[in-house]
Structures are given as C-alpha cells and as structure tokens.
C-alpha cells in the first residue's frame, strides 16, 4: 500500500527529515514508481493536492497476508494483516457480520472522532492481531496510522521532495522516493496528523528519536522508541468533552 499526504495535512516528527537527503522525489513520481511495480492491478485514489492512496489487492483471494481498502462517508482506510478478535469487536460496536477489518477501523475512527468515551490508545490497544493501517479523513483532512506491536506487519514512512509524508509497506518505494529521509514506522505506535506520534502500549511515556546511520555512515531519518524514563505530565482525557485527536502530550 501507499499513502501520500501533503505537509499541510500531516505533521510528522522533524527527526524523520534527514539533512543528507538531496535527491528526493516528488509525490507524483513516487506514485508512478509504485504503479510501475504493480502495473496490472494497482488502484489509486487522488484527493487533489491533499492526498493520494494506492492499493494492490492480494495475488490470490485466500492470501495469508490480507490487504484491504475501503471508504465510508469520506473516510478511507488501507489495512494490512488481520484481527483475531474481529468478531468480538463487531459485536461490541454493533456492526454487521460482514464487516471486515478495514470497515471496522473506519467505524472505530469515526467513533473516536465524534468524541467517543474511550481514548484512542485504548481503542487501538484492544486490536488483537498483526495489523497496519492508514486512515484518511478527507472531510476534515486528518491522517491516522498505526502499526501492531507483534512485528507481523511492516510499515515505513518518510518525507518526499516537497515535504509531503509518504507511508508504505514497500521499503523500496520509500527509499527511492525519500532517499535518506525515511525510517521504519515504530511498532506498537500510532500517529495522528494533529496529535503526533505516540505509543498505544505505553501512552504515558514520551517517544524518543534515536539517530540512525546507514552502512555508508550517512545520517538517515531517525528511529522512534518509547522513552522509559520520560512521562507526559497528565493522563489523556477520556471524557466526551475531549476531542480524541488532540491527546495530551508534553512537547
């Protein structure tokens, strides 16, 4: 999968941008590369200058590595992996039995967006399985991404030549498009375009940028890990008066 968001709609950590990156591609070039790698079955959806989503379905209907794409009420989700407790989550949210993982993530996001009673980290932590997903809410221009903690799925993110954020499971596309300004998306973490990056496993701890050097000794985009010694000043709000997308963080 591939998701590209204009810098005005996504605000990744500054440490992801490497000063050594001098030949980064523009978003349209990265999209062309992705489509060229899968010329027969790539589906892409553009939202003007705001965002692009691209999806390649599994090669076989019963492929073990599930990939899904769907959109509901101007909210779109790219999903990889599977949820072991999907049936339980469907009952909990009162959804139809035919709901798949991508459809569920959209519903969970919409519940959170509309000031649901639970904090975002708890909702994502309740997902049992190997998963990676990217949600784009085209109505409000927000981005929400998360990667499961078990390492079963891989996700990468980087900065394109115009400052746009690129997220993909294809590390080759990320490297070619973002040069040194890329890094693995941290496991057990979630990112929101307004709330930033945080661990859903350890929401009370800050994220720490770890310098990353390639085999040539060149500085790359940083890795991000939970800082076990540093905690946020307050517990994220959970009441209906709090907008989930603005979780409390000590900058």
The ranges assigned to domains in the chain are 2-231
- Does position 25 have pLDDT exceeding 80, yes or no? yes
- Percentage of the chain beyond pLDDT 70 is 89
pLDDT digits (tens, 9 = 90+) for 45-87: 999 989 999 999 887 666 667 899 999 999 999 999 999 999 9
CB 131 within 8 Å of CB 83: yes
Angle between helices 86-93 and 101-113 (to 10 degrees): 40
Longest pairwise C-alpha distance within the chain: 53
Residue 204, by phi and psi: left (phi above 0), alpha (psi -120 to 50) or beta? Answer: alpha
* Cα–Cα distance for residue pair 224/30, rounded to 1 Å: 24
Query: The pTM is what?
Result: 0.88
| CATH number corresponding to 2-231 | 3.60.20.10
pLDDT given for residue 63 in this prediction = 61
- Does position 156 have pLDDT exceeding 90, yes or no? yes
β pairing state of 182-184 and 189-192: unpaired
* Cα–Cα distance for residue pair 233/235, rounded to 1 Å: 7
Place of tokens 């000794």: 217
pLDDT given for residue 248 in this prediction = 43
pLDDT given for residue 188 in this prediction = 95
pLDDT digits (tens, 9 = 90+) for 97-147: 999 999 999 999 998 888 766 788 999 999 999 999 999 999 999 999 999
**DSSP assignment string, the chain:** -EEEE-TTT----GGGS-TT--SPPPHHHHHHHHHHHSTTT-EEEEETTTEEEEE---SSTT-SS-EEEEEETTEEEEEEEEETTHHHHHHHHT--TT--HHHHHHHHHHHHHTT-SS-HHHHHHT--EEEEEEEEETTTTEEEEEE-TTSSS--EEEE-TTS-EEEES-HHHHHHHHTTSEEEPPTTEEEETTTEEEESSSTTEEEEEEEEE-TTS-EEEEEEEEEEEEE-SSPPP-STTS-TTS-----
pLDDT given for residue 133 in this prediction = 98
pLDDT given for residue 243 in this prediction = 47
Mean pLDDT of the chain: 88
pLDDT given for residue 194 in this prediction = 84
CB 128 within 8 Å of CB 110: no
């Amino acid at each position: 999968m591939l998701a590209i968001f204009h810098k005005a709609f996504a605000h990744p950590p500054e440490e992801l941008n490497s000063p050594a990156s001098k030949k980064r591609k523009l978003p349209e070039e990265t999209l062309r590369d992705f489509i060229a790698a899968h010329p027969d079955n790539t589906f892409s959806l553009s939202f003007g200058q705001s965002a692009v989503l691209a999806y390649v379905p599994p090669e076989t209907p019963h492929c073990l590595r599930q990939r899904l794409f769907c959109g509901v009420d101007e909210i779109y989700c790219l999903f990889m992996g599977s949820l072991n407790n999907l049936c339980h989550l469907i009952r909990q949210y009162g959804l139809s039995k035919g709901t798949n993982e991508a459809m569920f993530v959209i519903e969970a996001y919409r519940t959170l967006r509309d000031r649901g009673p639970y904090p975002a980290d708890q909702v994502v932590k309740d997902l049992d399985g190997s998963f990676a997903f990217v949600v784009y809410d085209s109505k409000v221009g927000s981005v929400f991404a998360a990667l499961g903690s078990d390492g079963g799925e891989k996700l990468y993110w980087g900065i394109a030549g115009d400052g746009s954020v690129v997220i993909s499971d294809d590390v080759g596309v990320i490297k070619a498009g973002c040069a040194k300004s890329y890094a693995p998306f941290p496991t057990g973490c979630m990112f929101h375009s307004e709330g930033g990056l945080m661990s859903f496993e350890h929401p009370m701890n800050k994220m720490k940028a770890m310098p990353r050097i390639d085999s040539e000794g060149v500085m790359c985009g940083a890795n991000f890990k939970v800082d076990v010694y540093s905690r946020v000043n307050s517990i994220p709000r959970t009441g209906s008066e709090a907008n989930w997308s603005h979780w409390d963080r000590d900058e």
